[in-house]
Structure 1
Amino acid sequence: MKSVLLYVNDDTGLEARLQAALDVTRATNGHLHCLRANPYNPQMAFDGVTGMSVVYDVAKLTREADQRLRNEIESRLADEDVPWHYEEVNASPARGLARNSALADIMVLSSASGDKDNVLPMGILGDVLFNTHVPALVQPDDTKKFDATGAAVVAWNGSFEAGNALRAAVPMLHLASAVHILTVDEDKDHDLPPLSASEYLSRHGITSEIHSMSAKKPSVEAVLESSAKALHASYMVMGAYGHSRAREFLFGGVTRSLFRECSIPLIVAR
């Protein structure tokens, strides 16, 4: 993972994203691409007297805020030991990330674990995962590090999405002190058993241990998170949106719940 794409925005998750992105870039000897996607476009308004006028004050305030944010990030990165560059694009966050992800190996986004009433992180995650082929590191707001050398958990259900996430995470799993493959008995037939995932990792020189869990707790996601905690995992690898996104939004789902509740970073792909 030599190209790390960081979503830059002045929100509650920025510090956690920045620290995680630096940790990943350092661990992989990579390059950090800081992307500020600003959806602002000059607005037009009718005041009823003079007709249409440009709300230039809004544009000025937006530019000033962007410059302050850029100065802050560049000042921080000047003292870090990783190569980086900063870019600004005039686009919504999800569209800007998607359009600039073609040569990224991983992008760093926030989970929805901060402000529970803020739907923006969840919307960005959904849009980005559905419109790119790049894995995302989903970082909780209160976790200001990413330990690439810690233990890793792979949430495995034998699905296409789980396979994509596993393949994408191989460079990171090479650095892990231990790799645990977790399956949860949901009374469903899996396309690929966990042994297949373990064999795949072995071909890459990665040793793994399989754990089969029973879904006795209130939900699959509760079993996954409690098991990851018991194994002292630094992060979890998982496939995202195995069902339709609309269904997950309306009725819940493992992806949505973990994006909101999981206390450790997630590496996800669809």
Structure 2
Amino acid sequence: MKSVLLYVNDDTGLEARLQAALDITRATNGHLHCLRANPYNPQMAFDGVTGMSVVYDVAKLTKEADQRLRNDIESQLAEEDVSWHYEEVNASPARGLARHSALSDLMVLSSASGDKDNVLPLGILGDVLFNTNVPALVQPDHIKNFDAAGVAIVAWNGSFEAGNALRAAVPMLRLASSVHILTVDEDKDHDLPPLAASEYLSRHGITSEVHSMSAKKPSVQAVLLSTIDALKASYMVMGAYGHSRAREFLFGGVTRSLFKDCPVPLIVSH
């Protein structure tokens, strides 16, 4: 994770994203790219009475708010022992992140664990994951760190998406105190068995333990959450938004639910 892309926005999840990004950048001796994507520009408007006028108010207020935000972030980063730079672009958050992610190893976004009525984090996550090949760290608002040396769980269903997430997470899994591969038996065909994932990690010098669980509990989500609790996991790796119904282990609804309710950070890839 030598290049970490942080989504900068003045919201309830910013501090959690920033601290997690710093922890990962520090743990991997990488570089932090702070990206502020803002779609607001001065606009031309007709008021029907005085004719054409230039609407500066919104743009001026936005620019002032952006400058305050930048000053706050840069003042914090000046005290940190990581390499970083700050960039502002005129684009919607999802479009800005997608367009500037080509040379990133990981982007840091918020989960939808904060304001339950706020659909913006879910919208950004969906747009970014579908339109980039870059994995995302989905950080809950209440967790102000990322424990790279903690226990890691890999949610495995043998799918293309799960494989992408596993490969992307290798730099972090090398740092984990232990790695657990979790598969849930749902009587569905898996392209690759969990032992294939374990063998893949072993080629990178990573030892892992395989757990096969039953889906007889209320839901796959319940199995995942109970395992996180039982193993005291620091984070979980998983594929997101699979397309095939044979890959429903982490399809749509489960992905969406975990983005809202998972108590630990997620490293996800589509």
TM-score band, normalised by the shorter chain?
over 0.9
1:129 aligned partner, one-letter code: L
SS at 2:142 equivalent = coil
SS at 2:234 equivalent = strand
Question: What TM-score comes out, normalization by structure 2 length?
Answer: 0.96
The equivalent of 2:58 in structure 1 is 58
Deviations along 1:67-88, one digit per CA (max 9) or x if unpaired, are 0000000000110111110000
1:191 aligned partner, one-letter code: D
SS at 1:233 equivalent = coil
How far residue 125 of structure 1 moved from its aligned partner, in angstroms, is 0.3
Contact 2:242–2:252 (8 Å) recurs in 1? no
How far residue 252 of structure 1 moved from its aligned partner, in angstroms, is 5.3
Flag as ranges the 4+ runs of structure 1 deviating above 3 A: none
Contact 2:240–2:252 (8 Å) recurs in 1? no
Mapped to 1, the partners of 2:54 and 2:211 lie a distance apart of 61
How far residue 66 of structure 1 moved from its aligned partner, in angstroms, is 0.2
**Cα distance change, pair 252–242 in 1 and its aligned pair in 2 (3 A):** closer
The equivalent of 1:179 in structure 2 is 179
1:146 aligned partner, one-letter code: F
1:110 aligned partner, one-letter code: S
The equivalent of 1:208 in structure 2 is 208
SS at 2:257 equivalent = helix
2:100 aligned partner, one-letter code: N
Mapped to 2, the partners of 1:15 and 1:175 lie a distance apart of 23
How far residue 218 of structure 1 moved from its aligned partner, in angstroms, is 1.8
- Gaps of at least 5 residues in structure 1 are none
- Gaps of at least 5 residues in structure 2 are none
How far residue 42 of structure 1 moved from its aligned partner, in angstroms, is 2.2
Question: What TM-score comes out, normalization by structure 1 length?
Answer: 0.96
The equivalent of 2:146 in structure 1 is 146
Q: How high is the sequence identity, in percent, across the aligned residues?
A: 88
How far residue 229 of structure 1 moved from its aligned partner, in angstroms, is 1.3
Cα RMSD of the aligned pairs, angstroms, is 1.3
The equivalent of 2:128 in structure 1 is 128
SS at 1:222 equivalent = helix
Aligned residues: 265
1:150 aligned partner, one-letter code: G
Mapped to 1, the partners of 2:4 and 2:134 lie a distance apart of 10
